[in-house]
Chain A
Amino acid sequence: DAKTTQPPSMDCAEGRAANLPCNHSTISGNEYVYWYRQIHSQGPQYIIHGLKNNETNEMASLIITEDRKSSTLILPHATLRDTAVYYCIVLQTGANNLFFGTGTRLTVIP
């Protein structure tokens, strides 16, 4: 079941921040927000996850609104290698059955 809504595509200039939005208005209290990406012809790659606090790692930052109904993945300095389909996934902790949806196709433009 689709629990998230993402724009189908976005462009971003190389070197600029890429901000990818995700709506998950029906998220419940024990569900996390995960982000994965899939670069062409490769398997998906885990990026980041969070419950209600903002998170940052070496790849990206995740900003979750206070009501947890939406989130934004931020790639601070997009490169051409960040061109991929980005998936926002809502899942209960302890569950491994990722539902990928259609994702956002991010194109980084030179």
Chain B
Amino acid sequence: KAGVTQTPRYLIKTRGQQVTLSCSPISGHRSVSWYQQTPGQGLQFLFEYFSETQRNKGNFPGRFSGRQFSNSRSEMNVSTLELGDSALYLCASSLSDSAYEQYFGPGTRLTVT
């Protein structure tokens, strides 16, 4: 079974631009969560989607948004990029609403210049 895939793997953007990251969960998984990882703040929860509905949201500004499609694929968008948004963005999928077995993708490394 294929794992969680994230595209693109690397991205360089300029301050003020916006970016869209994509995540394809493991086949059959309906929950997709997004995390941001930086050296200073560590791994932080962004939001979680289940059956196209956002169920949980972390403490991030409204510039960070996401959505989930009917096939469970998910996208996250960051508008008006800031230097501090440079991070590894990780997507995780799970079969249902149980947290114990979340499968993480390799991440998208975003650099904002």
Contacts and interface: CB of A to CB of B under 8 A. Distances in A.
Contacts of B66: none
A101 B43 CA distance: 7
Contact of B45 (A34, A49, A99, A102): A99
**Which of under 10, 10 to 19, 20 to 34, or 35 or more describes the interface residues of A?**
20 to 34
Given A44-B90, A46-B103, A96 B43 contact: no
A105 to B, nearest CB: 12
A62 to B, nearest CB: 11
A97 interface: yes
Contact of B100 (A49, A87, A97, A100): A49
Contact of A34 (B31, B44, B56, B100): B100
29 contacts: A34-B99, A34-B100, A42-B104, A42-B106, A43-B90, A43-B104, A43-B105, A43-B106, A43-B107, A44-B43, A44-B92, A44-B104, A46-B100, A46-B101, A46-B103, A94-B97, A94-B98, A96-B31, A96-B33, A96-B48, A96-B50, A96-B55, A96-B94, A96-B102, A97-B48, A98-B43, A100-B42, A100-B43, A102-B42
**Which of under 10, 10 to 19, 20 to 34, or 35 or more describes the interface residues of B?**
20 to 34
